[in-house]
Structure 1
Amino acid sequence: MKISVLIPTYQRPQDLERCLEALSRQTLAADTIIVVARASDTATWSVLDNWQKKMPINPVIVDEPGQVKALNAGLKHANSDIIAITDDDAAPRPEWLSRIKKHFMENPKVGGVGGRDWVHQYGRIEDDSRNIVGKVSWYGRVVGNHHLGVGEARKVDILKGANMSYRRSAIEGIHFNEQLKGTGAQVHNDLCFSLEVRHKGWDLIYDPKVAIDHYPAERFDEDKRDELNITALTNAAHNETLALLRYYPPIQRSIYLLWAFTIGTRVTPGILQAVRLSLQGGKNAKTMFKAVQNGRRSARKRWRKK
């Protein structure tokens, strides 16, 4: 089974350098490394010019902004049996590709494989642990925790964009959803894609040993890390809602929308969570609630027009 690695990148030459260096140390080398970049990103092209002499890199130009456009452009050039996707600010560990391939070889029902991303920030590595990873509850709560997962390999509902791979036959006819909002990261594009693969009947596997090191880098859009941005919050709520409306059957859609409006989460609050945040001194609780509901409302309108 041949393996392609797909990396979308934008204005992160030093991060991309680290990522390519990590890929050069894989115990199982990639057959092709597809790097998608903007034509105007000259610093990135300088990095690629150097690495093309050392590795089988296939550079792809994308003219439009946004991670979704970049990923879809890359998929058009990915002809291998397995397509492994990572971020430019990630550094896959040496056995990343060999462990991915092993899962696909052992079970023909496996459509996707992902693993833990060890997050490096603020001078430390996040080393907490969670057993529940990558699940979507029956009422609509999305649990990620991919960066904290421990235990054995198991089936999940969603994989994380920084560390996910797919069997090419499992994603035939699927592309990253270009209806998602956002000018850069377009949060939850991995949620949408994972659920589409699950909807086709394929298994998704999360294995903590399929590991990468993740160094969250600056984002060049409205979705800044660790900083509340109302536009980014509205976009995230829109994208999550659109993904779940596409995935759930009719009755569960209604349950999800009711839960999302009345309860929600601390990050995307409904009424009760907004009240709770307010009582705990959260100055932005009301603003967050409005932003989230605006995002969910726009997703419902878009869903009805499909």
Structure 2
Amino acid sequence: MKVSVIVPTYRRTVDLARCIAALEAQHRHADEIVVIARREDTATLAWLDAHAVATHDCRVTVAIVDEPGVVAAYNRGLDTASGDIVCFTDDDAAPHPDWIERIASAFTHAPALGGIGGRDIVHERGGILQGKKSVVGLVSWYGRAIGNHHIGDGPPRNVQVLKGVNMAFRREAVAGVRFDPRLRGTGAQVHCEMAFSLEVCRHGWTLVYDPALLVEHYPAQRGDEDQRSVFNATAFFNASFNLRLIMCEHLPAFQRWAFVTYSTLIGTRADPGFARALLLALDGEGLALALRKWWIGLRAMHGAWQEAAR
């Protein structure tokens, strides 16, 4: 099977160089590497031109996108890539040398497999994020999204959600499926791979998470309002809106109302409901900020329901 790797990038030439080097060092080479770059990102385009001249590697294809955001980049990649297997990783990641080999083998031996993903080893604050979780990539009946892709442990298992930095899909499984352009954000567009994964599952395909499928992940500064660890009201609203829109459309009616209740009253540390906001305030976050997050979540819910009703 022909394997394509899609790498969205924006103003991270040092990170991109490490990613491309890791892809060129694969035991089983990709048949094509599609790098998605914005037209105004002249530094990245210049680096790609210089790389092509220096290496004569005709497998690296550059696809230009004019619209900001990873959703547009992912969709441009899907429209450009020609592989039977379409892999995704980030420009700030470095897949292990057996990454493509493992992916190709998994699809070859499992005809019903629609997608596979693995663990991203997150390098942060001078170390590696630690932990071991057996529950990975699931959405509970009441809409609680469980990630844990970076600390997944144990054997391969069926999941509902894969993570963009380390995921691959069978071309047949994503025929006609695209990343949702309604999702908010000018860069990361948080949760976009959740919506995509759930849509693949809805079409009857199996998704698998394998902790032995590894990429090294060096989270770089984002080129938008979402700076990860620093609170930004716009970025917080966008992430909350995206999650709520996905759940409003993914969950059946009864479970949708359970999600509304859960997210409004309880929620998670990253997206708190009222009770969780009070706990965060007691934990030192500050009452004003904690309640502000809860209020933003309520506004995001209203916006998501309006969007879903269109």
Q: TM-score, normalised by structure 2?
A: 0.96
Deviates more, 1:39-48 or 1:77-86: 39-48
Over the aligned positions, Cα root-mean-square deviation in angstroms equals 1.0
Partner of 1:131: 134
Q: Is 1:250 the counterpart of 2:238 in the alignment?
A: no
Where do residues 213-228 of structure 1 align in structure 2 (5 Å cutoff)? Answer: 213-228=216-231
Q: Is 1:162 the counterpart of 2:157 in the alignment?
A: no
Quick one: which amino acid aligns to residue 292 of structure 2?
T
Partner of 1:299: 304
Counterparts of 1:126 and 1:289 in 2: how far apart (Å)?
27
Partner of 1:17: 17
Superposed displacement of residue 54, structure 1: 2.5
Partner of 1:57: 60
Query: Taking structure 1 as reference, are residues 55 and 118 closer, same or farther at Cα in structure 2, changes over 3 Å only?
Result: farther
Q: Deviations over 1:43-68 (max 9, x none)?
A: 11122113332350110000111111
Quick one: which amino acid aligns to residue 170 of structure 2?
R
Where do residues 13-52 of structure 1 align in structure 2 (5 Å cutoff)? Answer: 13-52=13-52
Match of 1:183 among 182, 186, 200: 186
Q: Is 1:68 the counterpart of 2:108 in the alignment?
A: no
Tell me the secondary structure at the aligned position of residue 147 of structure 1.
helix
Superposed displacement of residue 143, structure 1: 0.8
Partner of 1:88: 91
Counterparts of 1:157 and 1:220 in 2: how far apart (Å)?
29
Tell me the secondary structure at the aligned position of residue 207 of structure 1.
strand
Counterparts of 1:222 and 1:54 in 2: how far apart (Å)?
35
Counterparts of 1:100 and 1:187 in 2: how far apart (Å)?
25
Alignment gaps of 5+ in structure 2:
none
Counterparts of 2:293 and 2:94 in 1: how far apart (Å)?
34
Q: Is contact 2:274–2:291 with CA below 8 Å preserved after alignment?
A: no
Counterparts of 1:182 and 1:140 in 2: how far apart (Å)?
22
Superposed displacement of residue 281, structure 1: 3.0
Q: Is contact 1:231–1:291 with CA below 8 Å preserved after alignment?
A: no
Tell me the secondary structure at the aligned position of residue 119 of structure 2.
strand
Match of 2:103 among 78, 100, 103: 100
Q: Is contact 2:23–2:97 with CA below 8 Å preserved after alignment?
A: yes
Q: Is contact 1:131–1:151 with CA below 8 Å preserved after alignment?
A: yes
Q: Is contact 2:134–2:152 with CA below 8 Å preserved after alignment?
A: yes
Q: Deviations over 1:191-245 (max 9, x none)?
A: 1111110111111000011100000001011100211111111110100111112
Superposed displacement of residue 86, structure 1: 0.4
Partner of 1:109: 112
Identity of counterpart residues, as a percentage? Answer: 46
Q: TM-score, normalised by structure 1?
A: 0.97
Instruction: Provide the aligned length of Structure 1 versus Structure 2.
Output: 305
Q: Is contact 1:277–1:285 with CA below 8 Å preserved after alignment?
A: yes
Counterparts of 1:118 and 1:264 in 2: how far apart (Å)?
26
Q: Is contact 1:84–1:165 with CA below 8 Å preserved after alignment?
A: yes
Deviates more, 1:175-184 or 1:249-258: 249-258
Deviates more, 1:276-285 or 1:232-241: 276-285
Q: Is 1:269 the counterpart of 2:272 in the alignment?
A: yes
Q: Point out 4+ residue stretches in structure 1 off by more than 4 angstroms.
A: none
Deviates more, 1:125-134 or 1:64-73: 125-134
Q: Is 1:2 the counterpart of 2:5 in the alignment?
A: no
Q: Deviations over 1:85-135 (max 9, x none)?
A: 000000000000011111111111110000000011211122321111111
Counterparts of 2:283 and 2:155 in 1: how far apart (Å)?
37
Q: Deviations over 1:17-58 (max 9, x none)?
A: 000000010000000100010122121112211333235011
Superposed displacement of residue 282, structure 1: 2.4
Tell me the secondary structure at the aligned position of residue 151 of structure 2.
coil
Quick one: which amino acid aligns to residue 190 of structure 2?
V
Partner of 1:289: 294
Quick one: which amino acid aligns to residue 301 of structure 2?
R
Deviates more, 1:123-132 or 1:34-43: 123-132
Counterparts of 1:244 and 1:111 in 2: how far apart (Å)?
21
